[in-house]
Amino acid sequence: MAQAAGLSQISTTSGQPYVSKLVLLGSSSVGKTSLVLRYMKQDFSNVLPTVGCAFFTKVVDMGSSSLKLEIWDTAGQEKYHSVCHLYFRGANAALLVYDITRKDSFHKAQQWLEDLEKEFHPGEVVVMLVGNKTDLGEEREVTFQEGKEFAESKNLLFMETSAKLNYQVSEVFSTVAQELLQRAGDRGSSSQEGEAVVLNQEPAARHSQCCP
């Protein structure tokens, strides 16, 4: 099913950064919040389970252009599953996060992909599969190869990370930002000359918690 027109458009006005919505999805405790906090604040500490959804914004400088990411960190607990659907509407990108030491979380990430496939047209959203907690390699239940092969079979980006060790965390976000800008550029060059690209204006409050 397609979402409402315009909501998933990468957007800009002249001189303004592109604005894109990125949503993190995945089982509880896979490290979604930790990845966001590592990226936003260079911090890693024990965090409480997310309630509903937490919202952050960050401008990613990509040299000649920049991208404003609206980052929606959803709650992984099952009781919030249905409400998470509300949060991924209008997304331009999604991180499907699993914990490499928990096979069940890998399966859950695959279920999230099925949910995204129902909501969006193929290629409409940049999706990256993220295997977190590589520092716990001795407890690994999902091999790098398994993650990579699944991602390739579904045409997803793929990376493994450790929020704890700050391994490939910023790379996840910059790779997604790069892909979003690339697609925005492709879309811009295929749109008619002089055609305005509509802006997803003002996000909600910065760093706010939003609950069901």
Q: Which residues are 59's β-sheet partners?
A: 68
DSSP 198: P
32 scored as a contact of ligand GTP (CB under 6 A)? yes
How far is 49 from 83, CA to CA, in rounded Å?
15
Residue 190 beta carbon to ligand GTP: minimum distance, rounded to whole angstroms: 37
Q: Select from 3-11, 108-116, 156-164, 193-201 the region that touches ligand GTP (CB under 6 A).
A: 156-164
6 scored as a contact of ligand GTP (CB under 6 A)? no
Rg of the chain over Cα atoms, rounded to whole angstroms, equals: 17
8 Å CB contact between 126 and 54: no
52 scored as a contact of ligand GTP (CB under 6 A)? no
| CA angle at 25 for the pair 48 and 155, rounded to the nearest 5° | 150
Length reported for the chain: 212
- In this complex, which beta carbon is closest to ligand GTP, that of residue 25 or of residue 151? 25
Residue 70 beta carbon to ligand GTP: minimum distance, rounded to whole angstroms: 17
77 scored as a contact of ligand GTP (CB under 6 A)? yes
* The one among 46, 189, 192, 201 contacting ligand GTP by CB under 6 A: 46
* The one among 19, 133, 147, 177 contacting ligand GTP by CB under 6 A: 133
* The one among 55, 132, 157, 159 contacting ligand GTP by CB under 6 A: 132
Q: Which sign, positive or negative, has the C-alpha torsion 112, 91, 4, 182?
A: negative
How far is 196 from 199, CA to CA, in rounded Å?
9
3-state secondary structure of 167: strand
Residue 169 beta carbon to ligand GTP: minimum distance, rounded to whole angstroms: 9
How far is 99 from 67, CA to CA, in rounded Å?
28
- In this complex, which beta carbon is closest to ligand GTP, that of residue 46 or of residue 153? 46
Q: Which sign, positive or negative, has the C-alpha torsion 192, 194, 195, 201?
A: positive
- In this complex, which beta carbon is closest to ligand GTP, that of residue 31 or of residue 90? 31
Q: For residue 178, give the nearest of 92, 97, 112 by alpha carbon.
A: 92
* The one among 47, 62, 197, 199 contacting ligand GTP by CB under 6 A: 47
Binding-site size, ligand GTP (CB under 6 A): 22
Residue 188 beta carbon to ligand GTP: minimum distance, rounded to whole angstroms: 34
Binding footprint of ligand GTP on the chain (CB under 6 A): 26, 28-34, 46-47, 49-50, 75-77, 132-133, 135-136, 162-164
